[in-house]
Amino acid sequence: MKRISSLILLFAVAGVCLPAVKAQVKNSTPPFTVSLQKRPPSAEEKGLFIISHQAQQWAPSQTAIIICDMWDKHWCSGATKRVTEMAPYINEVISTGRQKGMQIVHAPSDCMKYYENTPGRKLAMKYRKKASKKLEDGGILESEKGAEWPIDQSDEGCEEPGESPAGVWTKQHDAIEIKDGDAISDSGEEITGLFAAKGIKNVILTGVHTNMCVIGRTFGLRNMVRAGYNVVLLRDLTDVMYNSKMRPFVSHFTGTSLIVEYIEKYVCPTIVSTDFTGRKQFRFSEDKRPVIAFLTAEGEYKANQRLPEFGHQLLLKEGMNCEYATGLPAMEGPGRYNLENMQVLNDADLAVIFIRRIALEPEKMSLLKNFVNRGKPVLGVRTASHAFDAKGNVPREGGGITASSEKVSGFLEQWPAFDKEILGGNYQGHYGHLEALTRIQVVPGMEAHPIVKDMPAEGFGSKNWLYKNAPLSSPHVQVLLTGSIPNEKPEPVLWTNRNGKNKVVYTSLGHWDDWKIPAFPQLLVNSIHYLLDDAAAQQK
């Protein structure tokens, strides 16, 4: 700081304009990295969506955080309880953002009289007339036309009513600090006017309630999209108004997950608080759903589409919380060797891996190895058998040392032994693409096993080209399904494994058309319950 002050003094003596120097100092703030999760339309199947992540670097001076309607009290006692639990975490996020130079906006609607003489309120009012256009509540975006709203909120969404709705909130929750330089407003005109004056381009929305205020206020997601901002929802620090007795009859927290899905498809991307705190993302203490982490990066079997479709069914029918870490489906090009959002492994109960031949930065590979070392269960699908074997050293993108060097610091990390060490497999390639279907059948004597108990007695046919895995590498495997093609010995296609700490299920099934066969997704549902039930038993 002394060096900067001395530099400014030096430029002032030399006759250089001080505001220009201050701008240079301000703009020297390092960029802030966020990992955006979104669900764009599938390029291969009309009307369906994929899931993807993209790391972006934002200038803090061009970024704002809006805290929506985190009131001191709500007429719904359940909402008040959840806001109280969430508020300290929001405060941690905005404290970090403020320190980095982001603009903080406190937006407790209908509470402006409480703040009328405060510096933050005066700051926002100063820019009301500088807004580009008037913003109004409501009104869906063009991108939402024809989309189905995922929850029924016609009863106002409260399971635990408390008081009369009239005048119950007066201010923002006290756990969220308001500091010098913060703005206070519930007006989209004021807020966008402030943003225009400050050069804000990126907007982060957090607070409540996602399906009502966060998406629909004059400063909400839809209007920030309309106004042209690069807007995201902080998805782990938000909450919905939803009564589980209403359609689709799921838990309150699954209701929030469904709204987040909707927003990622039709409104804007989302991020998590980990980008600010470096810690596990926030989860409500009453949210007891098991966390399933889907890791996917492959371009042959539409995994970035099929897995979120499957995860959606787990949300609706199995009451599971599904998180995703994704890489590019492309087999080459910039970003090929990367997985974004891998911090979901820090508190996941189970990992589903559908990845093909990638290498990772050591710190990201460590997240996976730490997950495995904690004894967590793993479900491997199809290309998981060669997930982390890139067939040769992979230099870090943007540079790195030559492949002939003995040093490895310039290379990404691989785990070619993942197949044998964790999955218990012995992948040796596959048979050719045949016209005939691969015949999938239960191993005699295994019909009552909980994973295959729902299999049709006659088995089923799969379009997948049969993987060569025999003989399997682990003495602890139990083969449950085999696959047969003409003129070849049967191959194992689904088995369980105990590698010491971990309980594992692997299947070489996973062709994009396998998901259309009812038996295949049911096998995966059964596998997940099998693995989770065992993990729960070990914790007792």
Catalogue the E-assigned strands of 393-477: 438-442, 460-462
Q: With beta carbons less than 8 A apart as the criterion, state whether 309 and 296 touch.
A: no
| CATH number for the segment(s) 289-396+406-540 | 3.40.50.880
Burial degree of 19 (CB within 10 A; 0-12, 13-18, 19+): exposed
User: What pLDDT, on a 0 to 100 scale, did the predictor assign at position 75?
Assistant: 94
Using CA of residue 454, residue 459, residue 465, residue 467, what is the dihedral sign? positive
The per-residue b/e assignment along 161-199, b for 16 or more CB within 10 angstroms, e otherwise, is ebeeeeeebebbbebbebeeebbbbbbbbbbbbbbeeee
Closest residue by Cα to residue 297 from 352, 239, 230? 352
Q: pLDDT tens digits, residue range 65-90?
A: 999 999 999 999 999 999 999 999 99
- Each of the 540 residues of the chain gets a pLDDT tens digit; together they read 334 444 333 333 333 333 333 343 445 689 999 999 999 999 989 999 999 999 999 999 999 999 999 999 999 999 999 999 999 999 999 999 999 999 999 999 999 999 999 999 999 999 876 555 556 666 899 999 999 999 999 999 998 877 666 668 999 999 999 999 999 999 999 999 999 999 999 999 999 999 999 999 999 999 999 999 999 999 999 999 999 999 999 999 999 999 999 999 999 999 999 999 999 999 999 999 999 999 999 989 999 999 999 999 999 999 999 999 999 876 666 678 889 999 999 999 999 999 999 999 999 999 999 999 999 999 999 999 999 999 999 988 643 333 333 344 589 999 999 999 999 999 999 998 777 899 999 999 999 999 999 999 999 999 989 999 999 988 999 999 999 999 999 999 999 999 888 999 999 999 999 999 999 999 999 999 999 996 554 554
d(CA 514, CA 463): 7
Distance from C-alpha of 39 to C-alpha of 47, rounded to nearest angstrom: 12
Q: Which residues contact 145 (CB under 8 A, 6 or more apart)?
A: none
8 Å CB contact between 240 and 209: yes
Provide the residue ranges of all domains of the chain, joining segments of one domain with +: 289-396+406-540
Query: Could you report the per-residue pLDDT of 299-312, keeping only the tens digit for each?
Result: 899 999 999 999 99
